[in-house]
Structure 1
Amino acid sequence: MRTILLGTICLIMIASCKNEAEKATPASTAIASETTKTPPPVEFADQKYVDMGKKSLAAFASGDIDGWVSGFADNVVLRWSSGDSLAGKEAIAKYWKDRRMNVVKSLETSKEIWLPVKVNQPQSVETQGTWLLSWYQVKATYKNNESLTFWVHIDMHYNNEMKVDEMIQYVDRAPINAAIAKKK
């Protein structure tokens, strides 16, 4: 009985070592780019888009609306998650200049998250090309001295000239509208 048990253990150990050696063979390891002929539906984009996004957000937060829209295409469309939208660089600049002058006293952003992606194969309504996705916390103080802290998610699409031609802002405007409506 001991001989059979000892023989079985030896066979299992030999088989186990052989399997480990086969797994470690580099020839059996395939690199995705070598086996894939078509690009993936979505992949990471260049870090330069994050740098451009951070510069744009800093201009916006400081109240430099002209600096903020300088990275926009003339035909840019800004959409809010509520379904409202503005079309054109001039219309967007006019709206935000008025809002910063008459409604918003100051903005501070924090806890930023940035993700540049290249959409090779749209899977829904998104435009093919480079997108910069961002999430950040905003502390807004309004002209009536009410303050509010909330999260914003923004998706920006860049055209071939590296200008934003589509922007989608996801934000719950109900608490913002309530804070603005409060009297001094």
Structure 2
Amino acid sequence: MRKLLLGMIAFLLFLTACKDETKKETTATEPAAGETKAQPAEFADAKYAQLGKDGLAALSSGDIDKWSANWADNIVWQWNNGDSVAGKAAVVAYWKDRRANVIDSITFAQDIWLPVKVNQPQQNEAAGVWLLSWYAVNAKYKTGKRMMQWIHTVQHMDANDKIDRVIQYLDRAPISAAMAK
């Protein structure tokens, strides 16, 4: 799995690094001499990767208040199955309940972080900074059972560098099995 993720990242780096070296005629939509045209997407500042790492450390320690300090008031947390929680107060309540009553301990390993700045949205994604991450999760539930899986998380930052959207891609089956009594 890690080789696949590293391959995907290498491919993204390759696409970003490739430039059309052929000379083009200047048109009204192209930059004037001496200017550079913004790429549709580019690497963002590494500070966003650190923000993500700090968030996982806070979640692991059970400090939801510290973790949520970087969330926007209008945050939407969405999962790949279509479920979602909207609003900072609701998302904080959700995770405080999970950490206090459902998850006994949780650790993260083999994490990969890719901060990307989208200058020109391609479809319906928002412009701005997105933090892509992949990590192995090892959680022990209050039932005494464990759950281990890879999770992919996508986070969007608003104009104030607050997280306003989180999309998590995970497999619910091992989570449900670990929660079963």
Bin the TM-score by the shorter chain: 0.7 to 0.9
Q: How does 1:1-184 map to 2 (within 5 A)?
A: 37-181=36-180, 183=181
Q: Which amino acid letter does the alignment assign opposite residue 171 of structure 2?
A: D
User: Higher helix proportion, which one?
Assistant: 1
How far residue 39 of structure 1 moved from its aligned partner, in angstroms, is 1.1
Do 2:43 and 2:116's aligned partners in 1 also have CA atoms closer than 8 Å? yes
Counterpart residue number, 1:3: none
How far residue 38 of structure 1 moved from its aligned partner, in angstroms, is 2.4
Instruction: Give the share of equivalent positions with the same residue, in percent.
Output: 52
Q: Which amino acid letter does the alignment assign opposite residue 142 of structure 1?
A: Y
Provide the aligned C-alpha RMSD in A: 2.0
Q: Which amino acid letter does the alignment assign opposite residue 172 of structure 1?
A: D
Q: Which amino acid letter does the alignment assign opposite residue 113 of structure 1?
A: I
SS of alignment partner, residue 49 of structure 2: helix
Q: Which amino acid letter does the alignment assign opposite residue 178 of structure 2?
A: A
SS of alignment partner, residue 161 of structure 1: coil
Name which one, 1 or 2, has greater alpha-carbon Rg: 1
SS of alignment partner, residue 114 of structure 1: strand
For structure 1, the residue ranges without an aligned partner over 5 or more in a row are: 1-27
How far residue 36 of structure 1 moved from its aligned partner, in angstroms, is 7.5
SS of alignment partner, residue 113 of structure 1: strand
CA distance in 1, matches of 2:172, 2:34: 47
CA distance in 2, matches of 1:79, 1:127: 15
Counterpart residue number, 1:25: none
Deviates most, 156-165 or 34-43: 34-43
Do 2:148 and 2:174's aligned partners in 1 also have CA atoms closer than 8 Å? no
CA distance in 2, matches of 1:29, 1:79: 42
How far residue 162 of structure 1 moved from its aligned partner, in angstroms, is 0.7
CA distance in 2, matches of 1:165, 1:29: 40
